[in-house]
Amino acid sequence: MYSIAEWLILFLCLANVGLAGWMISKILKLEKFQTGEAQANLELINQSLNRLSNITETLERQNQPVRMVETANSQNEENPEINKERRAIYLLRKGENPRLISRKLGLSRSEMDLLVASEKLGNGQKTNLTAI
């Protein structure tokens, strides 16, 4: 028969195997969650980039300098979303704080981050910003 020490060692080994299996299942579950969360974040970034790309294409098609109107008349343009982006770019180039611009214009943090990043990177084409 086995002694108490041998039974204790056997019990501890089995508990160790069980604990290892539990930890592996938790790690796999966490990895699956993080992968799903990363994919969701990438999808949001992709949507924001597509939106920014569409706005850029629209501005390029218009082939006009970005103009800034600091009055309520600026809301009369055909697309208020493009107007927000144009105002944000103008204010960024004036040197205003991106967080204040985001609050002032009602842009999300991710949209503002994309505008700041695109402004830093540039696209090889300078856009003239003039205040009316």
Per-residue pLDDT of the chain (132 residues; tens, 9 = 90+): 678 888 889 899 999 999 999 999 888 888 877 777 788 888 888 888 888 888 877 777 765 555 544 444 444 445 556 678 888 888 888 888 888 888 888 888 888 888 888 777 764 444 444 433
pLDDT given for residue 114 in this prediction: 82
Q: What percent of the chain is predicted at pLDDT more than 70?
A: 75
pLDDT at 23: 92
| DSSP bridge partners of 68 | 131
Q: Residue type for 125, please?
A: Q
Nearest of 44, 66, 34, 65 to residue 114 by alpha carbon:
44
Cα angle: 8, vertex 26, 16; to 5 degrees: 10
Q: What is the pLDDT of residue 30?
A: 82
Residue 71 DSSP class? S
CB of 46 within 8 A of CB of 52? no
Instruction: Enter the pTM of the model.
Output: 0.37
HSE-up of residue 49 (Cα within 13 Å, Cβ side)? 7
pLDDT value, residue 17: 92
Judge residue 89's burial from the number of C-beta atoms within 10 Å of its C-beta, 0-12 exposed, 13-18 middle, 19 or more buried.
buried
